[in-house]
Amino acid sequence: MSKEKLDKISANFGNPFAETAFDKPFTIKEILDSFEENKVVSVAGRLVTRREHGKSSFANIMDYTGKIQIYARLDILAKDYELFKDLDIGDIIGVKGKLFKTHTGELTILVEELKLLSKALLPLPEKWHGLRDVEVRYRQRYLDLIANPEVKEIFLKRSRIISQVRDFFNKLGFMEVETPMLHTIAGGAAGRPFVTHHNALDFDVYLRIAPELYLKRLLVGGFDKVFEINRSFRNEGISTRHSPEFTMLEAYCCYNNYDYMMKLCEELFCSLAKEINGSLVLNYQDGTIDLTPPWQRISFAQIFKDEFGILAEDDQDVFLQKITAKLNLAGKGLSRSQILNITEELIEKKFPKNKPAFIVDFFTWNSPLAKKKKDNPSLVERFELFIAGLEVANAYSELNDPIEQKERFKKQMETEEELPKKIDNDFITALSYAMPPATGLGIGIDRLVMLLLNQPSIRDVILFPLLKPVSEEEQRPEAEGQKP
C-alpha cells in the first residue's frame, strides 16, 4: 500500500494500530456451525476478498478456523463505509452485525459496526491463494499459513497429535517432567552437539542431543514412569528426514523391558491413527501402510550378515572395514548418519514398506546404553521402529550396571568422533545408587506427524525450519513477488 493511503486512513479514522482488544467470543467456524437468522455476532479476522457494488460491498474475512462473508452498506455504516472502501486485502478487521442468508444461500454477516484492528503495510504475494514457492513457504511461514488452508490444517493436527500422545502416557500413569536443555556434558545419544558458552559461569555448554541420562536419574530417584516431550538438537545434516532441531518424546518405565515398549508403540500408533485418520490404514506418498498389529520383527544383525558378511562378534573396526570394502569406500570412513542411511536403504530394499517393522538384534558396540541379551552378549535388547522407510522410534532394555556402563562410555569415546571426550561421571554415580530394571523409548514426533499426515518432508511439519540466511536484498518484498 502507499504511504499516502496510510496517512489518509490515519487522518480520517485515527491510528490503524491503536486498538488493543476486540470482542471475539467465537471463531468463524463456531459462528457458522451455530447459525441463526438475525443472530447478532461479533468476529474478527483478515480481509481476504472484496467486491464493491456502489453503495454496498461484499467481502470475506478469515481466521484460523475458516472464512465468512460479510456485507457492508453505506446507509448503515455511514462514514465508516469510506473506511471499508479504503481497506486493503490483508487488513485485520473486526465486525459486529446480524447473520442472514443471501439469495444464493451463503451465510453472511450484515455489518453494523466496523473496526480496523491492524493495517497491512505489505500486500499479500501475487496469486497468494496458490502460494507454492517452497522457499517462500518455509522462509515466510506466516504467508504460507494465510495462503494455504491445508498447511494450517497440518499444524492444527500436529497440535492434536501431541496432545493425544500426552494423554496416552498420562492415562498409563507416566509423569510428565522437564529436564535441562543445556548440558555440561553431551550424552544420551550419538550425535554431534551444538556448543555455546555460558558467560556468567565462563564455560562451554551443549544443547542437548537427548534427555535420556537425566530421565534415568529420575528412575534412580524413585519415579517409576516418566516422560518428556522435548526439543533436542544435533549439529548434523539437513534433509527431508533430518532437522538439526527436532521434537522427541522420551518415556521410561521401571520393571519392564523392550518387549513392553514394542506393545506400547503398537498401541500408541494405532490409537493416533484412529483418532487422526479414522483408520489403521494410512495413505503415505504413493502407497498405504497397514498398522494392524502385530508388527514384523527384523534382525539388524542378520541384515548386515547377509549384505556384508558381518558377524555379531565383529567389532566396530571390522564392521566398518567390511562395509567400506563392499561399497568401495575404502579410506573415506563412515559417519553415524551414513550408517543410518545405509540401514534405512537396506530395510527399504529388502522388506515391504506397507507394514511397520521392529528392527532388533543390534550390536552391543553401537548401543552403549542398552542391556545385553542373556543368550548372546554381542547383541543388545534394543529395537528401532521403521515405518515406510523412516526410523520413528528407538528403545532398549536399559543398562543399569554402573561398572559396565562406564566401560561402555570409555569405548564410545574411543570410537565416536562426534561426541566430546568426557564421561558423565555423575550419571555413573547415580547408577551406583541402583537403578531398577527399566526400559526406555524415544519417538521422533516430527517424523510421526509426517506419517500420520502424509507429508513428504520434515520441513512440512515444522513451523519454522532452519534455513540458510538470505541477504537483505533477498529479504525485500520484491524478492517474493510482492509490490512495495
> Are 95 and 194 in a shared domain?
no
> Are 33 and 166 in a shared domain?
no
SS3 content of the chain, % helix, strand, coil (to 5): 35, 25, 35
Mean pLDDT, rounded, of the chain? 91
> Are 336 and 393 in a shared domain?
yes
All 3 cell numbers of residue 464? 519454522
pLDDT digits (tens, 9 = 90+) for 377-402: 999 999 999 998 889 999 999 999 99
Q: What is the mean pLDDT of residues 335-347?
A: 76
Measured CA to CA, the distance from residue 283 to residue 454 in angstroms comes to 6
DSSP string, 353-370: TTS-EEEE-EEGGG-TTB
Say if CB 244 and CB 191 are below 8 A apart: no
> Are 216 and 155 in a shared domain?
yes
Residue found under cell 465508516: 80
All 3 cell numbers of residue 64? 484460523
Say if CB 357 and CB 302 are below 8 A apart: no
Say if CB 109 and CB 68 are below 8 A apart: yes
Residue 162 lies in a domain: yes
Statement: residue 132 has pLDDT above 80: no
Radius of gyration of the chain (CA): 28
Residue 127 lies in a domain: no
* Band of pLDDT at residue 484, cut at 50, 70 and 90: very low
Give strand pairing partners of 63. 66
- Residues with Cβ within 8 Å of 134's Cβ and at least 6 positions away in sequence, in order, are none
Q: Residue length, the chain?
A: 484
Say if CB 74 and CB 56 are below 8 A apart: yes
The runs of H, that is alpha helices, within 44-133 are 74-77, 80-86
> Are 79 and 164 in a shared domain?
no
CA angle 408, 414, 418 (to 5 degrees): 100
Would you state the pLDDT for residue 480?
43
Residue 65 lies in a domain: yes
Residue 141 lies in a domain: no
Torsion region of 108: left, alpha or beta (phi above 0 gives left; psi -120 to 50 gives alpha): beta
pLDDT digits (tens, 9 = 90+) for 25-60: 999 999 999 999 999 999 999 999 999 888 999 999
> Are 65 and 189 in a shared domain?
no
Say if CB 91 and CB 118 are below 8 A apart: yes
- Residues with Cβ within 8 Å of 103's Cβ and at least 6 positions away in sequence, in order, are none
Residue 470 lies in a domain: no
User: What is the phi/psi pair of residue 380, to 5°?
Assistant: -120, 165
Residue 468 lies in a domain: no
Structural domain containing residue 42: 3-121
Would you state the pLDDT for residue 128?
58
Q: Which helix (H) or strand (E) holds 177?
A: none
Q: What is the CATH number of the domain that holds 77?
A: 2.40.50.140
More confident residue, 59 or 236: 59
Q: What is the CATH number of the domain that holds 230?
A: 3.30.930.10
Of 363, 329, 338, 301, give the one whose Cα is nearest residue 417.
338
Among 53, 86, 121, identify where a domain stops: 121
> Are 308 and 361 in a shared domain?
yes
Measured CA to CA, the distance from residue 471 to residue 482 in angstroms comes to 17
Q: What is the mean pLDDT of residues 135-162?
A: 92
Instruction: Tell me: cis bond preceding 294? Omega within 30 of 0 counts.
Output: yes
Residue 22 lies in a domain: yes
> Are 8 and 48 in a shared domain?
yes
Statement: residue 479 has pLDDT above 90: no
- Residues with Cβ within 8 Å of 17's Cβ and at least 6 positions away in sequence, in order, are 118, 119
Q: How many domains does the chain have?
A: 2
The runs of H, that is alpha helices, within 309-384 are 316-326, 336-350
Residue 139 lies in a domain: no
> Are 114 and 214 in a shared domain?
no
> Are 186 and 331 in a shared domain?
yes
Would you state the pLDDT for residue 51?
92
Statement: residue 481 has pLDDT above 50: no
> Are 70 and 209 in a shared domain?
no
Measured CA to CA, the distance from residue 280 to residue 448 in angstroms comes to 14
Give strand pairing partners of 196. 205
* Band of pLDDT at residue 478, cut at 50, 70 and 90: very low
> Are 176 and 28 in a shared domain?
no
